[in-house]
Structure 1
Amino acid sequence: MRKIWKIVLPVFVLLIAVVIYINYPRLNIITGFAAKNACSCIFEAGRDLESVKALDNNFSPVNQASYKVDTQKMSVTSRIFGLKPRTAVYHRGLGCVLLPEKSSEISFAIIPERTIDNNSIPYPYGNAPPKDSVFLNVDTSALQMAVENAFDREGSIMQQTRAVVVLYKGHLIAEKYGEGFNAETSLLGWSMTKSITSAVLGRMEKQGRVSLDQNNLFEEWAGDERSKITLNDLLQMNSGLEWVEDYETISDVTRMLFQEKDMTRVQLRKPMAGPRSNTWNYSSGTTNLLSGFIRNQFDTHQEYLDYWYKEVIDKIGMHSMTLETDAAGNYVGSSYAWATARDWAKFGQLYLNRGKWNGEVILSESWINYSATPVEGSNGEYGAHFWLNAWGKYPNVPGDLYSANGFQGQHVFIIPSKELVVVRFGLAEYPDFDVDSFLKNIIGAVREF
């Protein structure tokens, strides 16, 4: 036995050394992701560490990370192979903030002020329970089956759906949650947050604070080609700025999310890689640049923090939503919005209502049309921070569908021709989760008169 160990142990140590050597440049990104995601799941969503490790952080190499949870400081520190510790800390009103490397704490002097309207209007337009709504053209059995089929059968973990909510004509007609999740659980939208950022700019445009054709957006661009970039170019991901959106490697987006203190300035520093308005390139850096642009429209940081909630989020009763910030206190408009599935459905209903909410015009109809208009170079799949079905990506779904989409299959689908909003949260995308079949079955349960 000793002879075997003399052979096996050195080989094992060598293998560990090789793994560390290969992954070393990525270790702070790996531990940054692990700490940030665990912190938010625990302190924002109210989940436990074991479920996060088993379900959310269970992919390689993140599954090699270790964790220390400090419930008093409301922080999570992660290491991998005992190396590269990273810490994320929960701050009330700002969510979990990933600290810069080698930092042990950070403080914020201000937090957003919220306006919580505890009205008695039934959901989705208020906070009272939804009405028991019956539509003669809705096949409830077929609808229930369509929703059930979005979840895994016992013993399967392929689709990994966590929540489905279906609104029809502004009424809740179906919802279901996976084990460990319910109507009160906050869920991370990932890149659905980009659509929230777009809505905030739409509100600013309606109020005359910004215009789509304005340029000279940042003083750092004065005197060079970037000064010609318009707000429209940024919203359509067509700025021509250099950017690599690759989550499998050390790239612009992974460095931004897990290494930068101020995420609004990463793409600000990038050079042009192609002509503006003619170089479509999906970029989380662009959305965080827009968050910085929004910040520049206000005299104080408090006004910037408050505006997103006051004028959009709390105005439509998405009171469960938390927009998380970077270590500089700026909203991570690309990726970090948390809310219940029901509140995410409210966001979709706002767009289905053509920008109106309880009689008030929040967004102009022209902004709604703009959001769902295909961008040159996107193959009909992208608008102004929304994804589209204009060219039939989902062949069994109407072409007027547009949606807020996020990493691992987070979706708020808006289908105007069917008067439907469909929300789905989970940890799987195509082919493990088939959006086309899912939506086809839901739409099929709503018969036309």
Structure 2
Amino acid sequence: MNRPFYLASLLFFIFFWNCSSEDVDEIPQEETPIIVPESLYFPPLTSNTWETESASELNWNTNQLAPLLNYLEEKNTKSFIILHKGKIVVETYMDGHTETSPWYWASAGKTLTTAVAGIAQEENLLNLNDKVSDYIGTGWTSASLDKENLITCKNLLSMTSGLDDGLGDGIAPNDLQYLADAGTRWAYHGVFVKMQDVVAAASNQSWDDYFTAKLKNRIGMTGTWIPNGNANVYWSTTRSMARFGLLMAANGKWENTQIIPESFVNEATSTTQNINLAYGYLWWLNGKTSYRLPQTQLQFSGELIPNAPQDMYCALGKNDQKIYIVPSKDLVIVRMGNAADDANFALSDFDNVLWEKISAFIN
């Protein structure tokens, strides 16, 4: 994300920001049973209050908190939150950032598209097994009609469209060229954003209106989508990002209301194809035997983040925007900021070192 975009976005928020409330192939059968946290706390929808819990009450290693926060500050962090069963245990802001400052989710925001797609399917507006062209018409790619019609909504969410990622992240038909049959190749590609067009067409609403009504307002999030080239980037406060993480940790439920179907949450956070075992529906999965990364067709052995719990799944965005969810420990962890080291598209070495520090603190 370049400096002109930052300046333009800041000007946008001066005038429009509103923070009133929160000032395919056969799939491997390796789904993990859903763990339902007990006594989850949910912050009020229209209040900035949020209950806290102390690390000492949890018997965490409080002497390891300072090394964790020092490392975060050294690595260009702007905000960091740890929730335990929904309550805030750690919340810190750095580098001039505050509780009400907006920041971009980058590709961590892809998971918002997944959530809304699951809601739309539950409302019988669409079926993720259908081909994309059923909703947005044919000719949305430059592939032949028979090849284009192989691409389903699930292919968009699992990054298996078969379209040529070597041409960049453009989403005009000329940018979307056939490379392989859908479902036979995993490649990180901006074409997933077409799922937002599918939802808009299926719901007969704009993407933003449907997202706001069906997800954002129902969990008390603030924020807005800002177009950036071919991308549609979500900006919000850190607490809004934590609210979405909490919704996922609660298996799609907010208090007594099921917002995202529980079965879909489990499906989206399990391996969705047999090429990149560490990928669900735009969610990254730890604890698998191998993984693939953006901009390469190499397969790497081992877990995505070895120092993190095996059942962790995460939303990862450019320059180290993070939502980590750990069902076995009732944790939601959010990090926002600039790149910890070099610019990156999702995973970086920072994740594993950060989890070494987190584990020393919480264990």
TM-score with structure 1 setting the length: 0.64
Deviations for 1:255-275, whole angstroms, at most 9, x for unmatched residues? x4xxxxxxxx52586232102
Query: What SS does the corresponding residue of 1:336 show, helix, strand or coil?
Result: strand
Report how far residue 282 of structure 1 moved: 0.5
Report how far residue 243 of structure 1 moved: 2.3
CA contact (8 A) 1:280 1:377 kept: no
Q: Distance in 2 between matches of 1:269 and 1:298?
A: 26
Q: Does 1:407 align with 2:318?
A: yes
| Counterpart position of 2:200 | 295
| Counterpart position of 1:201 | 117
Identify the match of residue 263 of structure 2 among 357, 366, 370.
366
Q: Distance in 1 between matches of 2:21 and 2:92?
A: 26
Report how far residue 125 of structure 1 moved: 4.4
| Counterpart position of 1:185 | 101
- Amino acid in structure 2 at the alignment position of 1:360: T
CA contact (8 A) 2:160 2:187 kept: yes
Can you give the 5+ residue segments of structure 2 that lack an aligned partner in the other structure? 23-40, 289-302, 343-347
Identify the match of residue 243 of structure 1 among 165, 174, 188.
165
Of the structure 1 ranges 165-174 and 419-428, higher mean CA displacement relative to structure 2 is found in: 419-428
Identify the match of residue 151 of structure 1 among 47, 54, 72.
72
- Amino acid in structure 2 at the alignment position of 1:141: T
Q: Does 1:219 align with 2:137?
A: yes
Q: Distance in 2 between matches of 1:124 and 1:300?
A: 29
CA contact (8 A) 2:80 2:336 kept: yes
Deviations for 1:51-80, whole angstroms, at most 9, x for unmatched residues? xxxxxxxxxxxxxxxxxxxxxxxxxxxxxx
Query: What SS does the corresponding residue of 1:325 show, helix, strand or coil?
Result: strand
| Counterpart position of 1:394 | 305
CA contact (8 A) 1:164 1:425 kept: yes
| Counterpart position of 2:4 | 35
- Amino acid in structure 2 at the alignment position of 1:191: S
Report how far residue 116 of structure 1 moved: 7.5
Report how far residue 290 of structure 1 moved: 1.4
- Amino acid in structure 2 at the alignment position of 1:281: A
Identity value in percent: 23
CA contact (8 A) 1:116 1:317 kept: no
Report how far residue 299 of structure 1 moved: 3.0
Query: What SS does the corresponding residue of 2:83 show, helix, strand or coil?
Result: strand
| Counterpart position of 1:383 | 280
| Counterpart position of 1:314 | 217
- TM-align CA RMSD: 2.8
| Counterpart position of 1:438 | 354
Decide whether aligned partners of structure 1 residues 228 and 199 sit closer, same or farther in structure 2, where only a CA change above 3 A counts.
same
CA contact (8 A) 1:413 1:422 kept: yes
Report how far residue 360 of structure 1 moved: 0.4
Identify the match of residue 133 of structure 1 among 32, 53, 56.
53
Report how far residue 171 of structure 1 moved: 0.4
CA contact (8 A) 2:220 2:240 kept: yes
Q: Distance in 2 between matches of 1:116 and 1:398?
A: 36
Identify the match of residue 417 of structure 1 among 307, 328, 333.
328
| Counterpart position of 1:357 | 254
Q: Distance in 2 between matches of 1:237 and 1:417?
A: 27
Q: Distance in 2 between matches of 1:199 and 1:132?
A: 27
Query: What SS does the corresponding residue of 1:152 show, helix, strand or coil?
Result: helix
Report how far residue 326 of structure 1 moved: 6.4
Report how far residue 137 of structure 1 moved: 2.6
CA contact (8 A) 1:380 1:390 kept: no
Report how far residue 402 of structure 1 moved: 1.0
Q: Distance in 1 between matches of 2:353 and 2:124?
A: 42
Query: What SS does the corresponding residue of 2:316 show, helix, strand or coil?
Result: strand
Decide whether aligned partners of structure 1 residues 167 and 41 sit closer, same or farther in structure 2, where only a CA change above 3 A counts.
same
TM-score with structure 2 setting the length: 0.78
Q: Distance in 1 between matches of 2:232 and 2:310?
A: 26
CA contact (8 A) 2:156 2:195 kept: yes
| Counterpart position of 2:26 | none
Deviations for 1:107-151, whole angstroms, at most 9, x for unmatched residues? xxxxxxx99779xxx863432422242463342624522541333
Q: Which has the larger radius of gyration?
A: 1
Deviations for 1:197-240, whole angstroms, at most 9, x for unmatched residues? 11111111121211221124342249422112211111101011
Report how far residue 335 of structure 1 moved: 4.7
CA contact (8 A) 1:184 1:340 kept: yes
Q: Distance in 2 between matches of 1:399 and 1:361?
A: 26
Query: What SS does the corresponding residue of 2:149 show, helix, strand or coil?
Result: helix
